[in-house]
A and B are shown apart, each in its own frame.
Chain A
Amino acid sequence: MTPESLTQPAFWPLSIIVFLPALVAAFLSLPILPKGKEESVRWIALLTMAVVFLLSLWMAVPGLFGATGPGQFVVGEPGMQDVVKRAWIPAFGIEYLLGVDGISMPLVVLTTFLSMLAAAASWPITKNVKAYFVLFLLLVTGMLGVFVSLDFMLFYVFWEVMLLPMYFLIGIWGGPRREYAAIKFFLYTLLGSVLMLLAILMLYYSSDLRVLSDEQLLASHVVSPVLEGAARTAALAAVHSAQAPIHTFNIMALSQIGQLPVSPFAATQLWGMSLEMWAFLLLLIGFVIKVPVFPVHTWLPDAHVEAPTPISMILAGVLLKLGGYGILRICYPICPGAGLALAWLVCGLGVVSMVYGAFAALAQKDFKRMVAYSSVSHMGYVMLGLGVWSAVSGQEYRWDAWAQGVNGAMFQMLAHGISSAGMFFMVGVLYDRVHHRNLEEFGGIFSRMPVYSGLAMALFFAGLGLPGLCGFIGEVLVTLSSWNYSRGLAVCSAFTVILTAAYILWAIQRVYLGAEYKGPHGDHLTPITPRELAIATPLVFFAILFGVAPQLLFNYVTPSVNRQVETLAEWTRTVHDAGRQPLPATAASEAKDAAGVLAAADAPLPIGQR
């Protein structure tokens, strides 16, 4: 029984959410608005983002605005929902394929929410306001597009769309070293996306839709499940009767192919490694640059320090999550063999980033740089949680611990989105007043700005991972789950809690506590303004809400995550382990069936060493 939203592809909600910001950006860039109407540009951008946020909320939380309708998300349903499928470049099978599941829906809402707050935080921007908001809105479209696209080429296009506005936003509206930071950001991410493109093409050209069964074709929306009767049969037959291989960019179909008992990705060898290994590595590099992990993280502190406050909020709150999302959505399902073989790499990178980022944060003198390094450390938890592939033979293929890690990683991404955006905003509030960020030259802010300091400390405590605030749940779930994967990594990850407490409390002490303010422009330390309050309060509210009621998020995340983890755990047992040794009778026949599909498709692929 499929939910209504699956059978009725709701074209509009997702497309509007993604493209409304771009449309408004196009409208703003037309010479319609007279010059000097900067205030109205700000309001237009803010209202656009408010509409987009409310729309995404309407979609994500059925019943929030009264009756439920088609196009709304069905909470608890693990599969893809609201899938939009239109041909885009048929010659290459590139489709306009959008959809959301429990993994992407919360991230979409997080993006619209933070973008709305960032738009409100953009009021102090006075240089070339119109251009700023045009780029800002384009950036939002790019980010949302990445989260909802299910076609790999479309995903890549959105990924690139996001890159350029970010470059300009840092390079034009940034601080003194903005050009250095912008170029660094650009080159790092460009390198990542070039490698990603390589991987995409590798996967594309070795994919073949004909090896998939009817059910798999329908489940991956290669053949739209909306089609009924004869149309469906014809579409399925068209795939199976094709003479030449049908390549695909469909991410769901690529995952199905990657998890086949005899997958062409695993079977194809390239310079001594399987193609899936290459693809996994190339994609991983592209994604971990975004996350970022040690040693490709150095663009982040510079970008943050130079970027204007709202862009820092977006950068920390949303952009970093694209990396984690990519690994979860693309790397693991498409290349499970490589994922299992390289789980140590993902986890190791995560733990190294956690520890390294925390140490580096401890040494910073610049407030914003410290928060930036805390992001490196916190995103390390995400990597660790995603990587803990503990559903292995020694654990009797139990997948609970791994699912817990992935759920924790997802929660950590969402929680970090709130707490880090909040921390950057709070740093920005101070910077707007005294125009410096030197940790040694603060002090006594609590006495001068009590309301601001209270809210800021709440957000910093969320970053510290204090129970009752959002940072705790993700960290503790990831840490607890890592034990079943590796004792050593688990101990290292637990060790990070000490460092985290140290750098956050030390920063709080130097900035907020103490008797008097030690830096310049002390007379500008005015109490928090209503606009700033309106941005900080929702962040604090959600930091507390998700800390106290994590189930609100897990209701979305867990079904989808658990299904993926369960599938891959099954894969470990039936494909990975069963294929590695002399096959018992039953497993052999299963494998033969699978191989038979391949043989029927006339694709004689060598069975590689898995």
Chain B
Amino acid sequence: MDLESLLPMLLGLAWLTPLASFVAILFFGPRMGPHGRNAAWVATAAIATSFVLSLAAFVFWLAHHPVQAVDHGGHGSSHAAAASANPFRTVALADADAHADEHGNATHAGHSPTAYSGDWYTLYQGGRLKLSIGWYIDALTVLMFVMITFIATCIHIYASGYMHDELHDVTDHEVHLADGHHLHRPGRFCRFFQALSLFCFSMLGIVIAGNLAMVFIFWELVGICSWFLIGFYFERQSASTAANKAFIVNRIGDFGMLIGLMALWGALGTLHFADHSVQGEQQPGLFSLVRPAATGHALQVPDGMVAFAAADDVGRIARAHSDDPAAGVHEVAGKIDGWRNLGVGQWLLFVAGIGIFCGCVGKSAQFPLFVWLPDAMEGPTPVSALVHSATMVAAGVYLVGRFYPVLTPDVLLVIAYVGAITLFISATIALVANDIKRVLAYSTVSQLGYMMLALGVGGWLAGLFHLVTHAFFKSLLFLCSGSVIHACHTNDMRKMGGLAKVMPWTAGTMLVGCLAIIGAGIPFVIGTSGYYSKDSILAQALSFSQANPAHSILYWAVAGGALLTAFYMFRLWFMTFAGSPRDHHIAEHAHESPQVMVAPLIALAVMAVVAGWTLPGGFGIANLLEQARPAGTDVGGAGYFFSTLRIPAEHESHVGAIHITATMTAFLTAAAGVLLAALMYVWKLISPGMVAAMFRPLYTLLSNRWYFDEIYHALFVSPVLAVASLASNTDRGVIDRFIDGVAWAARQVAGIDAWIDRTIVDGLVNATANATWNTGLELKKLQTGHLRQYVMFIVMGTVALFVLASLLLRNSFAG
């Protein structure tokens, strides 16, 4: 079996196995062992199977596309393209017209990544338009599959221990009933794993998706899974509100995404990434439309968009040729290049890029839609680790990476700024948060901002590299925090402290996680995974700001963010594990978590250290990712609307000077942050309270999360509700009143009518009736009882009838 049919099969199965688990637990969950205990094993077995299948796909991939050793100057991230000898291939197996087409790319300038794509299933087909479920598999897909299934497996195992409370009846101390008691409810162990399985299926669906429509479908599905999981403790008002908030805020992003989809679909008629077949005919996909091989994969506005934007001119031509449409099409085709050179259609491509990015802003909790993620911490901690740090929220970054070839430099600049604002705001909020999970949540938002910024300044590899490494250390950090919460039964760090003695494994692994997130390492020698990915982001940002001095604030945001990250992460660690217990009641009851929870911590800690390494021979995540680099994105680009903008090529960031400056900046900022945290929380040389008092207004602003929730409530929620009640009142007060008024008027008219009826019409009728009555009385006199008279009447009547009939029916008789 060759790779192009093997990979979709393996990854397809890996994708569908969690769905099978979901269905099984949905129907039989409560009957799986006592209290549904075995549901955990069903779900874990399913995701483990997915992991094994993904790993198999990974191995096959490596066998066919060995990761090549490249010069990486001490770093994993290298520019040297692992150009593959394999051609860009497109496979469509759907709809029985198995069809393979090969595009040799040897003659094209620039390289194309190796990717396999095709359709499994058609949702809608009308004319040339086709919405389908399909796959697009390249090195990035395979890597994401392995990463997601590995972390998910760890978290499933962890959750089977963490969620054991749900195996029996639960008393929820956070819910107060009307009668003053706490809520007592049956456990929901199996329901948790049911939702987790559905989530894994949806998440893998995004990753394997072969077109944007499918991305959107699974995008919504992960959203609803997130809704289920955040609202797992749905008896709590805060949990169900947080769940709704998450979904609705995400929908705001999806609103933008829909517009992006429309801009692409309306003008290009396809949402497929790669070339594909429709009704046996080969159609170019988005990537080759925007970066056609003919231009050496340089970005250009596709013909469809040019024609769409020039609809007025096209219309004139088409009307002039309405008798011969082919001639019209031909004439339009001849003018496309001229229009394109005038910049026609640029706005459409810009809208498409910004639109798709809006979806990513929602899902990846970027400014201004990041407010849902901290609230999402209402969900159980394994959910926070899997959904709200490692995978789902990374989907936005993934999509920007996947969609990268279509994003114009102008869009990238917007992305970079959104990322910078996000990383800065959320890092500042994390400085003062006291809820251990919320610190991690804001740190997640901040790190996602890093990734977006990296992608925005041209660091395709840097952003996605950080996505992968971050997934490992952030899920590790969350699981560690879960372990702490499990032991202390509180999220409040002010009640913790000194836990390192009782929970050594948790403390140790969490320290690894903290070191990884701040990018700790020995400069130019070796480091944790974050060291490599963060350095490449810094380097790219520096290279970008050197190319665009006007935008050098982006570099300072990254550097400043690194300092803040180091500070709040170690503040967290010191407050939780170092020193002496602040709350002795909690410290006495604290205990190390069971093995089933510690084992995943260790596995993830190992990955958090080694994930960034590049082995001798060149094997490493960075080089693997390089195989998937979209065609044409290795050369940088220039802005259209921002005409001075220049996106530097990623390999420029490996120039010695930039590289050294970036590495040293990363090291020094991290060290400074840790040092500051230690001064305040270990050696207590600086009192945090005093600092807070000194910067009281700032502290208030930060601890109120910049008042984003309040501002949004005033700016958006209240007006929407006001408009809603206005609409509702318009119905009752205006339209219905009008209708009722018309009805009232009709009744008045009817009243007059009735009066006329009674007096005039009825008067006439009554008069007639009286007359009839009187006539009857008169006629009564005819009833004499004399037979002779009766016979005479009958005869006269008959004759009269005959005369009448013959007069009326003369024609018929005559005919």
Using a CB–CB cutoff of 8 Å, the interface residues on chain A facing chain B are 183-184, 187-188, 295, 297-298, 301, 356, 359-364, 392-401, 403-404, 407, 444, 446-447, 461, 466-468, 472-473, 476-477, 479-480, 482-484, 490-491, 494-495, 497-499, 501-502, 505-506, 509, 513-516, 518, 550-551, 554, 558, 562, 573-574, 577-578, 580-581, 584, 586-587
Contact = CB atoms under 8 A, between A and B. Distances in A.
Contacts of A472: 217, 220
A515 B266 contact: no
B322 A574 contact: yes
B235 A480 contact: no
6 contacts: A399-B127, A483-B266, A494-B255, A513-B231, A516-B177, A584-B323
Interface in B131-163: 131
A577 B318 CA distance: 9
B82 to A, nearest CB: 35
Contacts of A403: 126-127
A131 B145 CA distance: 62
B83 interface: no
Nearest to B182: A515
B124 A461 contact: no
B743 interface: yes
B727 to A, nearest CB: 4
B736 interface: yes
A301 B736 CA distance: 11
A398 B318 CA distance: 11
B731 A298 contact: yes
B763 interface: no
Interface stretch (B48-56, B244-252, B645-653): B244-252
Interface stretch (B423-431, B630-638, B716-724): B716-724
Contact of B322 (A297, A501, A505, A577): A577
A473 B123 contact: yes
B261 interface: yes
B720 A362 contact: yes
B227 interface: yes
A122 B437 CA distance: 51
Contact of A466 (B220, B258, B311, B323): B220
Contacts of A396: 307, 314, 318, 325, 328-329, 332
A479 B258 contact: yes
Interface string B185-225: 10000000000000000000000000001001110110010
A447 B269 CA distance: 47
A106 to B, nearest CB: 15
Contacts of A298: 731, 735-736, 739
Contacts of A188: 739
Interface string B350-394: 000000000000000000000000000000000000000000000
A497 B251 contact: yes
Contacts of B231: 513
Contact of B265 (A295, A356, A480): A480
B175 A515 contact: yes
Interface string B717-749: 000110111111101000110010001000000
Interface string B296-340: 000000000001000110111011001111001100100000000
Contacts of B723: 359
B255 A393 contact: no
A418 B296 CA distance: 51
B258 A494 contact: yes
A505 B244 contact: yes
Nearest to B245: A505
A301 B175 CA distance: 36
Interface string B474-501: 0000000000000000000000000000
Contact of B323 (A363, A483, A562, A586): A586
Contact of A467 (B172, B177, B221, B720): B221
Contacts of B103: none
Given A359-B723, A472-B217, A551-B122, A400 B269 contact: yes
Contacts of A363: 721, 724-725, 727-729
Contacts of B178: 516, 518
B511 interface: no
B629 to A, nearest CB: 30
B506 interface: no
A562 B217 contact: no
B236 to A, nearest CB: 8
A515 B183 contact: yes
A473 B124 contact: yes
Contacts of B262: 479-480, 482-483, 490, 494
B322 A513 contact: no
A476 B220 CA distance: 12
Nearest to B185: A447
Contacts of A558: 125-126
Contact of A581 (B234, B319, B332): B319
Contact of A573 (B263, B325, B332): B325
B703 interface: no
B241 A501 contact: no
Contacts of B266: 401, 480, 483-484, 490
A407 B127 CA distance: 12
Given A360-B724, A480-B261, A509 B244 contact: yes
A485 B318 CA distance: 17
A506 B609 CA distance: 43
Given A446-B234, A497-B258, A407 B124 contact: yes
Given A514-B240, A551-B122, A562 B265 contact: no
A551 B724 CA distance: 36
A188 B315 CA distance: 41
A184 B739 contact: yes
Contacts of A586: 323-324
B177 A513 contact: no
The 5 A-B residue pairs with the shortest CB-CB distance in the complex, in nearest-first order = A400-B127, A394-B311, A394-B315, A483-B262, A483-B266
A579 B125 CA distance: 32
B177 A483 contact: no
A498 B735 contact: no
B234 A467 contact: no
Nearest to A369: B728
Nearest to B219: A467
A75 to B, nearest CB: 15
Contact of A491 (B243, B259, B319, B322): B259
A346 B124 CA distance: 24
B237 interface: yes
Q: Interface centre among B323, B332, B729, by most A CB within 10 Å?
A: B323
B731 A301 contact: yes
Given A404-B124, A574-B322, 13 more contacts: A295-B735, A356-B727, A393-B315, A394-B311, A394-B315, A447-B235, A477-B131, A479-B258, A497-B258, A501-B248, A502-B248, A515-B172, A584-B323
Nearest to A480: B265
Q: Interface centre among B129, B218, B720, B726, by most A CB within 10 Å?
A: B129
A473 B220 CA distance: 13
B727 A498 contact: no
Contacts of A468: 217, 221
B22 to A, nearest CB: 11
Nearest to B258: A494
A551 B325 CA distance: 31
Given A467-B218, A509-B241, A393 B314 contact: yes
Nearest to B325: A397
Nearest to B728: A363
B254 interface: yes
A467 B217 contact: yes
Given A505-B248, A586-B323, A466 B224 contact: yes
B128 interface: yes
Nearest to B311: A394
A239 to B, nearest CB: 27
A188 to B, nearest CB: 8
A472 B124 CA distance: 12
A367 B234 CA distance: 20
A327 B221 CA distance: 34
A513 B254 CA distance: 25
